[in-house]
Amino acid sequence: MAADLEEKTDRYGEMLADALDAAEPAAPPGTPLGEAAAETYEMADSYLDDGRHFRAADDPVNALASFSYGYGWLDAGVRFGLFEIPEETELFTTDAGE
């Protein structure tokens, strides 16, 4: 079971990092939606940093929770239209064409 947790933690950390790389703000900076996108991105990125910290401290449970929360923030931002994502990505629950 520990091996499953380790693998899942590593996979979610990589998935969040890839998702952060793929997401581009959909609204201009300085607008309310642009500010919401920036804040949402910052939260997801902060959770990635937290998860990496926990992972380095050999705490995969809190690392996985951090990666999952970060991914949730970013995925919600995509669903709300705060970010544009590549059409070919499978990183999010919705595709860019919706």
pLDDT in tens, the chain (98 residues): 677 999 999 999 999 999 999 999 998 999 999 999 999 999 999 999 999 999 999 999 999 999 999 999 999 999 899 998 877 776 766 544 44
Give the CA distances from residue 72 to residues 3, 14, 28, 40, in Å, rounded to whole numbers and listed in that order.
Answer: 24, 14, 23, 10
The whole-model pTM stands at 0.86
Domains belonging to the chain, first-starting first, are: 2-84 (1.20.1270.90)
